[in-house]
Amino acid sequence: MTAAAPPSAEVLLARAYLSRVAEPPTPGLARLVLAVGPVETAERVRRGTVPEEVAKETAARRDVDRAAEDLATAHACGARILTPEHGGWPHWAFAALDNVALGRAGPAAVRDDVERDEADSGRIADPTAACPTSAGDRPTRGDLAPPLALWVRGPGIAAQLCDQAAALVGARAATGYGLHVAGEFGAGLAAAGFTVVSGAAFGIDAAAHRGALAAGGPTIAVLACGIDRSYPAAHEALLGRIAATGLVLSEYPPGAVPARHRFLVRNRLIAALAGGTVVVEAALRSGAQRTAADAQALGRPVLAVPGAVTSGQSAGCHRLIRDGAVLVTRIEEVLEEVGRIGFHLAEEPGSLRARPTDGLGPAATLVHDALPARAARGVSWLAMESGLPLDAVRPALAELARRGLVEFGGGRWQRVVEQPP
């Protein structure tokens, strides 16, 4: 990693405050932070001098400033805050959230917020209920707002773990068949060098994490409660094992309870952290369907595992496939679809298969693959990593630079990270 200076205490306190002051997703706050930075945003929220959208988001809790205590609580349970100002923040993974939630353009799978307002005003159903798979299930732009901070536990570097990652999600009340497939896919992804992202729930989630751990790979559990809580309680040991080699993370401040709607909101982070989402088993109405909808809205591939048509726990998967998800039966088919996040990010809406690396020469492709997502590297390191001679690496880098894929600075080469608009 580049030895970027760690963020100042002022920034950490501001981000910790913002993480508690509003209930995610918070598109207004995210927009304000992008415009004026976290410290100024926190100050304005405290003073109440914010745009109406942000005022609504923060009205209830803006007087609650427990930032210092939250940082201490996190520290006490072996966790820490991770902010966009840290080197390990998964910028590439979350750039899709920025683009879709805060940008102008976006795939058709996202509803505009105004549509949501209209749709919601006519709704009778409990808005916190698991979403149906109808068109109303599509998230709005605001639903996909990026987190203001993450609370993390474990040695993993999020940016690195997400460079090659796949989400494996599905039913809590999974069948033996689903648990078997989730475990196999978790192990297969780990063996292929992919990080398995899931939600640490009973059933498919747990089987996916366990499969990855059994294969010795890191895995990321995204919680819908404070990082200091083990939810479900029966998974305390599992979460401990995930945190021992990978990462447990949450956007909720310490102490936050796993309220029902937080599971749906949390799902966008699972979708965003992964290059693609595999639904292993899901009923027709389920949280996994929401993760799939979020992934689709972010322009990430949605994959689904078929099962017996007589199994209700496969009905959601079959619906997804009929609606365009890719049917996958083997880990090779998953790997075919779930590439590096950076590549997917840059895909044009409407032409999901076009990649900025299309048409690169073989050497340029190898060198580009060798470059880590967020770290700068020297030419000799790249020669070693790519297995190419030095005099092949240099023209390859020139080609990549011409294509705007890498940049040079301080004697090293680095991938160009797409900036949110």
Q: Work out how close the CB of 326 gets to a second copy at its nearest, in angstroms, rounded to a whole number.
A: 7
Q: Quote the DSSP letter at residue 99.
A: I
Asked whether position 326 contacts a second copy by CB under 8 A, the answer is yes
Q: Work out how close the CB of 183 gets to a second copy at its nearest, in angstroms, rounded to a whole number.
A: 12
Q: Near a second copy by CB under 8 A, which window of 105-113, 137-145, 254-262, 299-307? A: 299-307
> Which of residues 2 and 329 has its CB atom nearest to a second copy in the complex?
329
Q: Considering only residues 101, 131, 189, 315, which one is a binding residue for a second copy as defined by CB under 8 A?
A: 315
> Which of residues 75 and 330 has its CB atom nearest to a second copy in the complex?
330
Q: Work out how close the CB of 280 gets to a second copy at its nearest, in angstroms, rounded to a whole number.
A: 10
Query: How many other C-beta atoms can be found within 10 angstroms of the C-beta atom of residue 407?
Result: 14
The CA distances from residue 212 to 21, 173, 305, 329, 403, in Å, are 35, 20, 18, 18, 36
Q: Work out how close the CB of 296 gets to a second copy at its nearest, in angstroms, rounded to a whole number.
A: 17
Site size toward a second copy (CB under 8 A) is 20
Edge-to-edge order in the sheet of strand 79-82: 79-82, 150-153, 247-250, 219-222, 195-198, 165-169, 277-279, 302-304, 326-327
> Which of residues 242 and 302 has its CB atom nearest to a second copy in the complex?
302
Residues 6+ apart with CB under 8 A from 133: 284, 285, 289, 293, 316, 319, 320, 323
> Which of residues 220 and 321 has its CB atom nearest to a second copy in the complex?
321
Site string for a second copy, 327-366 (x = CB under 8 A): xxxx--x---------------------------------
Q: Work out how close the CB of 330 gets to a second copy at its nearest, in angstroms, rounded to a whole number.
A: 7
Asked whether position 274 contacts a second copy by CB under 8 A, the answer is no
Residues 87-126 contacting a second copy, CB under 8 A: none
Q: Considering only residues 305, 371, 396, 400, which one is a binding residue for a second copy as defined by CB under 8 A?
A: 305
Angle between helices 379-386 and 362-370 (to 10 degrees): 110
Q: Which two tokens stand for residue 248?
A: 């447990």
Using CB atoms within 10 A of its CB, is residue 41 exposed (0-12), middle (13-18) or buried (19+)? buried
Query: How many other C-beta atoms can be found within 10 angstroms of the C-beta atom of residue 155?
Result: 11
Asked whether position 308 contacts a second copy by CB under 8 A, the answer is yes
Q: Which two tokens stand for residue 253?
A: 């401040």
Q: Quote the DSSP letter at residue 254.
A: T
Nearest to 42 by CA among 7, 23, 16: 16
> Which of residues 239 and 282 has its CB atom nearest to a second copy in the complex?
282
Q: Considering only residues 314, 382, 386, 393, which one is a binding residue for a second copy as defined by CB under 8 A?
A: 314
Q: Considering only residues 79, 181, 196, 279, which one is a binding residue for a second copy as defined by CB under 8 A?
A: 181
CA pair distance 231, 6, nearest whole angstrom: 30
> Which of residues 123 and 330 has its CB atom nearest to a second copy in the complex?
330
CA pair distance 418, 198, nearest whole angstrom: 25
Asked whether position 176 contacts a second copy by CB under 8 A, the answer is no
> Which of residues 193 and 324 has its CB atom nearest to a second copy in the complex?
324
Q: Near a second copy by CB under 8 A, which window of 21-29, 82-90, 308-316, 393-401? A: 308-316
CA pair distance 188, 280, nearest whole angstrom: 14
Q: Work out how close the CB of 322 gets to a second copy at its nearest, in angstroms, rounded to a whole number.
A: 5
CA pair distance 270, 291, nearest whole angstrom: 7
Asked whether position 307 contacts a second copy by CB under 8 A, the answer is yes
Nearest to 227 by CA among 78, 85, 87: 78
Q: Work out how close the CB of 279 gets to a second copy at its nearest, in angstroms, rounded to a whole number.
A: 13
Q: Considering only residues 10, 322, 359, 389, which one is a binding residue for a second copy as defined by CB under 8 A?
A: 322
Q: Considering only residues 5, 124, 237, 310, which one is a binding residue for a second copy as defined by CB under 8 A?
A: 310
Q: Please provide the DSSP assignment of 342-409 as one string.
A: HHHHTPBTTBTT--TTTT--HHHHHHHHHS-SS--B-HHHHHHHHT--HHHHHHHHHHHHHTTSEEEE
Residues 376-405 contacting a second copy, CB under 8 A: none
Q: Which two tokens stand for residue 199?
A: 């939600």
Query: Residues interacting with a second copy, by CB under 8 A?
Result: 177, 180-181, 305-310, 314-315, 318, 321-322, 326-330, 333
